Amino acid sequence: MSGKSGLDCDGSVLCGRPVLAGKISEVAEVAGYLWQKGWAERNGGNITVNITDIVDDGIRSMCPVSEVKSIGAVLPNLKGCYFFCKGTNRRMRDLAGRPMENGSIIRITDDCAGYEIVADKPVLPTSELPSHLSVHNYLIGKGSPYKASLHTHPIELVALTHSGKFLEKDVATKLLWSMIPETKAFCPRGLGMVPYMLPGSVALADATIKAIDDDYDVVMWEKHGVFAVDNDIMAAFDQVDVLNKAAQIYEAGRNMGFEPEGMSDAEMSELTKAFNLPK
CATH number reported for the structural domain that contains residue 161 in this entry: 3.40.225.10
In a domain, 60, yes or no: yes
Q: Across the 279 residues of the chain, what is the mean pLDDT of every consecutive 10-residue run?
A: 48 95 98 98 96 97 96 95 97 98 98 98 93 96 97 98 97 98 95 94 92 96 97 98 98 97 95 90
Q: Are residues 8 and 146 in the same domain?
A: yes
Where a domain ends, among 122, 152, 182? Answer: 152
Secondary structure (DSSP) of 215-243:
T-SEEEETTTEEEEEESSHHHHHHHHHHH
In a domain, 89, yes or no: yes
In a domain, 217, yes or no: yes
What's the rounded Cα separation, in Å, for the pair 243 and 180?
A: 10
Q: Are residues 87 and 160 in the same domain?
A: no
For residue 272, which of 193, 192, 177, 179 has the smallest C-alpha distance? 177
Q: Are residues 168 and 95 in the same domain?
A: no
In a domain, 212, yes or no: yes
Note the pLDDT of residue 4: 39
Where would I find the beta strands (DSSP E) of 63-102?
69-70, 82-86
| Residue 237 burial by Cβ neighbours in a 10 Å radius (0-12, 13-18, 19+) | buried
Q: Are residues 108 and 169 in the same domain?
A: no
Where a domain ends, among 152, 182, 199? Answer: 152
Q: Are residues 92 and 197 in the same domain?
A: no
| Residue 40 burial by Cβ neighbours in a 10 Å radius (0-12, 13-18, 19+) | buried
Containing structural domain, residue 109:
3-152
Q: Are residues 137 and 233 in the same domain?
A: no
Contact at 8 Å (CB) between 94 and 45?
no
In a domain, 279, yes or no: no
CA 187 to chain CA mean position, Å: 14
Residue 192 forms beta bridges with which residues?
219
Contact at 8 Å (CB) between 84 and 103?
yes
- Total structural domains in the chain? 2
CB neighbourhood size of 258 (10 A): 8
* Active-site annotation, residues: 128
Q: Are residues 28 and 133 in the same domain?
A: yes
In a domain, 196, yes or no: yes
Contact at 8 Å (CB) between 232 and 26?
yes
Note the pLDDT of residue 127: 85
Note the pLDDT of residue 7: 54
In a domain, 51, yes or no: yes
Where a domain ends, among 152, 171, 201? Answer: 152
- Strands ordered across the beta sheet of 69-70: 69-70, 114-119, 103-108, 82-86, 46-50, 148-152, 225-230, 218-221, 191-194
Q: Which residues are within 8 A (CB) of 112 and not within 5 positions of it... i.e. 6 or more apart?
A: 74, 75, 76, 77, 78, 79
Note the pLDDT of residue 2: 35
What's the rounded Cα separation, in Å, for the pair 167 and 10?
A: 49
Three-class SS state of 174? helix
CA 193 to chain CA mean position, Å: 15
Q: Which residues are within 8 A (CB) of 275 and not within 5 positions of it... i.e. 6 or more apart?
A: 185, 188
Note the pLDDT of residue 249: 98
The two beta strands, 103-108 and 69-70, are unpaired
Q: Are residues 17 and 99 in the same domain?
A: yes
Note the pLDDT of residue 201: 86
In a domain, 138, yes or no: yes
Q: Is the peptide bond preceding residue 120 cis, with omega within 30 degrees of 0?
A: yes
What's the rounded Cα separation, in Å, for the pair 132 and 38?
A: 22
Q: Are residues 8 and 119 in the same domain?
A: yes
Q: Are residues 124 and 179 in the same domain?
A: no
Q: Are residues 76 and 167 in the same domain?
A: no
What is the total residue count of the chain?
A: 279
Q: Are residues 192 and 243 in the same domain?
A: yes
